[in-house]
Amino acid sequence: MKNPSTLVLHPDDRSTDFLNQIYDGKGFTVETRHKGKDYSKKEFIQQVKDHDRIIMMGHGYPGGLFMSYIDSTVVYLLREKECIFIWCNADQFVNRYELTGFYTGMFISEVGEANWFKIETTQAHVDNSNEFFSRLVGENLDNLVKLHSVLKENYMSTCPVIQFNNDRLYYKDEESLLAEQDLEDEDIGPAGGYGLASHI
């Protein structure tokens, strides 16, 4: 997509300020308000409709992005956009609703999260990982295929946090999505029985 109009959805949260460098100074529309009284869903929907590319980032879960309107009820809007999903377990959201774009799986951005996965690290190592990731994303937004490949090839280190995160970076386009759907169709035979996948 050439020079897309970009909407960044990044709910205000000091613990994710490291993501700011992805969009600072680029002239994007940036929405940091939390959903609620001062930021209506109607306003959000119009913002999404008015932009070609939607970058969603912050803390999240398989059902969407915390403190935002990003959930199952707005999937129909995202299907029409170029999307970047950066939050913990965004892969489950993308896969469940058959979306496309660049997205992350579980992403360690805090020492507590590393501890949960029994990864020994320090705040300095986590901060370095966060800064490194955000800088690479910010420098490579012009093409999502390139963004994914640059991160997979360059967001690397002996640091176990970076290794963990790198293993959970994904990109899916329409062609990949159709291929996945074709495989799912093969799972169930025409008479309701199980097809090819049942033998794997």
Q: How far apart are the first and last CA of the chain?
A: 38
Of the given ranges (14-23, 137-146, 150-159, 175-184), which has the lowest mean pLDDT? 175-184
pLDDT band at 195, cuts 50/70/90?
very low
Domain residue ranges of the chain, discontinuous segments joined by +: 6-199
Q: What is the mean pLDDT of the chain?
A: 92
Query: What is the predicted pLDDT for the residue at 200?
Result: 27
Query: Taking 90 as the threshold, does the pLDDT of residue 127 lie above it?
Result: yes
Question: What whole-number distance in Å separates Cα of residue 56 and Cα of residue 70?
Answer: 8
Q: Please give the C-alpha separations between residue 186 and each of 174, 178, 181, 196, in angstroms, as whole numbers.
A: 19, 13, 9, 6
Q: Please give the C-alpha separations between residue 114 and each of 12, 65, 161, 190, in angstroms, as whole numbers.
A: 23, 20, 7, 46
Query: What is the predicted pLDDT for the residue at 176?
Result: 80
Say which residue the tokens 């992350």 belong to.
104
Q: What is the mean pLDDT of residues 58-77?
A: 98
The pTM for the full model equals: 0.89
Whole-number percent of the chain with pLDDT over 70: 90
What are 99-112's pLDDT values in tens digits? 999 999 999 999 99
What are 71-81's pLDDT values in tens digits? 999 999 999 99
The CATH number given to 6-199 is 3.40.50
Q: What is the mean pLDDT of residues 53-65?
A: 98
Query: Taking 90 as the threshold, does the pLDDT of residue 67 lie above it?
Result: yes
Q: What is the mean pLDDT of residues 169-197?
A: 70
Query: What is the predicted pLDDT for the residue at 72?
Result: 98
Query: What DSSP string runs through the chain?
Result: --S--EEEE----GGGGGGGGGTTTS--EEE-PPSBTTB-HHHHHHHHHT-SEEEEESSEETTEETTSS-SGGGHHHHTTSEEEEESTTHHHHHHHTT--EEEESS---SHHHHHHTT----HHHHHHHHHHHHHHHHHTTT-HHHHHHHHHHHS--S-HHHHHHHTTEEEE-HHHHHHHHHHHHHHB-TTSSB-GGGG-
Query: What is the predicted pLDDT for the residue at 175?
Result: 87
Query: Which amino acid is it at 4?
Result: P
For 90-124, b where at least 16 C-beta lie within 10 A, e where not — what string?
bbbbbbeeebbbbbbbbbbbbbebbeeeebebeee
